Structures are given as C-alpha cells and as structure tokens.
Structure 1
C-alpha cells in the first residue's frame, strides 16, 4: 500500500494526509472524498493528471459545485443538530472551494504562501484572504460553515460573470 503524502505545494495544517491507498484512485477523478487536490498531487509529483484547470475549468468547477452542495447539506444537518461535522467533510469542503477558486483562475491549487497565491488570482471574492483563513481555522463551526458557503456562492457568481 502506497501511503498518501501531500507534495510540498499542497501542505497546509488544515489538510492532513489521509490514511488511504493511492493506488486505488482513478487518475482521472477530479474529486476524491477525503483526499482533496488529487489532480494537483498528480501534477506536482509526476507531471501527470488531467489538469482540469487548463482543459475545461468551467465544466470541472460545475462538477465540484455539485459535490460541494451534497457536502454542505450534510455539514448543515450536523450543525443544526448541534454536532460538529466530521473532519473529512470539512476538509473536503475546504478542498473543493480552493479547487474551484484556483481552477476558475486556470491555475492548480498551491498552498505554499497561500496569501501570495491568493493575491495572484484575478477572479476571487472580496476579502478572500481573511475570510478563507477564518474558514481554514473554524471550518467545523456554524459561522465557518456559513462563511465557506458564502465564499463558494460568490465565486460561482464571479465565474458566471467572467464567463470562465
């Protein structure tokens, strides 16, 4: 079993490497639950993968948004019962948002110097830095969940407006 490890471009405290067998993953999948940034992992480590940020970012972002809707629904149900969502759900939601954010700017996700990476994006919600960092820190709280949901909605509107 090949133990999964994030490449340096994807290392961040909010994304601990999952205990999974990477040999079981489809190299063409754009979303793998519990393992955000699969395509970036292939790109940065092996220069492989389908590079959805280059080929058809609009279609890829729409697919991710559908996944995000299901994840946010599950998170909201847990929070309404006054229970914290499971960490893998929070990680998936944050990963999907970051993928949508970067891919809609036709770039792979890069978490190295995240603040600088965010500054280089053209299509992004207002005050993305402080809002995203709040979500990364408090993603399992109701206010963190709401903020993440709003960020995704704003990004989707910006994508539609720019015609990405």
Structure 2
C-alpha cells in the first residue's frame, strides 16, 4: 500500500492525537476515524471544511459506526477503548471546526474555539474535561452530547442561512 509522507503542522500539535512530532506517513485509503486523525488537514490536498455539503456528510457517515463500537466496549467493560475514544473526539473536533468553515486547529485550541460562531454551550470547558480523561465513559457521554448539540447548532445556522438567501438578505 502506497503511503504519502506528511509533516505534522503546528495547528495540529496536541499530545492526545500526535504524541510525537515530525514527519509521518499517511496511508492511502485512510479514514476519518482511524489514526492518523485529521487526514485532510495533514494531506493538504482537499479542504472539505469549505463546503457543508462535502465535509459534514463524511463525518456523519463515520459517527454512528464508531459510536456503536465504543458503546459496546463500555457495556462489556472492555478497557481497550483508546483508538475509538480518540477517533470520536477527533470526529467531534472535525464537526466543530468544519461546520464553521475551518480546518481543525488544536494548537491554542481554547482560543480558536472561542472565536467560532457555531458551537455548543460551554464547549471549551467540556473539551477540557474530555482531554483530561479521554478514555472514560463520562468523556464518551460528553462527546456524544457535544456531537448532538453541534449538529443542532449547525442545522439552525444552515436554516437561517437558507432563509436569508431566500429573502435576499
């Protein structure tokens, strides 16, 4: 399988997702829900965050399968949830940033998120909790709720945008 060389950019530096700095490889056929995460930001070839019709459906396609896997592992008290938990958090971050028309930015993430207009209430504090305990059941539940809230906020924004376009505003 051919792999593209990638260099970790400053905006994606975060110990949860990329504990080692430097150059890595991006496997052909990589998905949104497997490491390395943030494949579009890393590859720089496509920018799905520039179009709601393109980027957000990619996330919605991955989310239910991943959520079901993690739910099953927690029900079975399986402690091997690291990959799925990181993937869920990554998908939420993609949803959060992409629904605001931006690539994921993990460096100085609190400030970046404060500047976003479409986001759940208290998202910075809730993500801080999640980043401190990324593999706990409580973090899983928090990410699930954040995803639902983000989808609602995005739907509201798109409805208002559509109405304003219809009204000629």
Same fold (TM over 0.5): yes
Pick the structure with more strand per residue: 2
1:31-70 alignment runs, 5 A limit? 31=32, 33-43=34-44, 49-54=45-50, 56-70=51-65
User: Gaps spanning 5+ residues in structure 2: where?
Assistant: 162-169
Segments of 4+ moved more than 4 angstroms: 1-5
Number of equivalent positions? 155
1:5, distance to aligned residue in structure 2 (A): 5.0
Aligned equivalent of 1:15: 17
Contact 1:79 1:85 in 2 (8 A): no
- State the 1:68 CA deviation: 1.4
Query: Per-residue deviation at 1:16?
Result: 2.5
Residue 88 to residue 80, structure 1, CA distance change in 2 (3 Å): same
Which protein shows a greater Rg?
2
Q: Which runs of 5 or more structure 1 residues have no equivalent in the other structure?
A: 44-48
Pairing 1:146-157 to 2, within 5 Å after superposition: 146-157=141-152
User: Is 1:100 equivalent to 2:101 in the alignment?
Assistant: no
Q: 1:40 to 1:15 in 2, by over 3 A?
A: same
TM-score scaled by length of structure 1 = 0.84
Q: So what's the TM-score if we normalise by structure 2?
A: 0.81
Cα shift at 1:30: 6.6
Query: Pairwise CA RMSD of aligned residues?
Result: 2.4
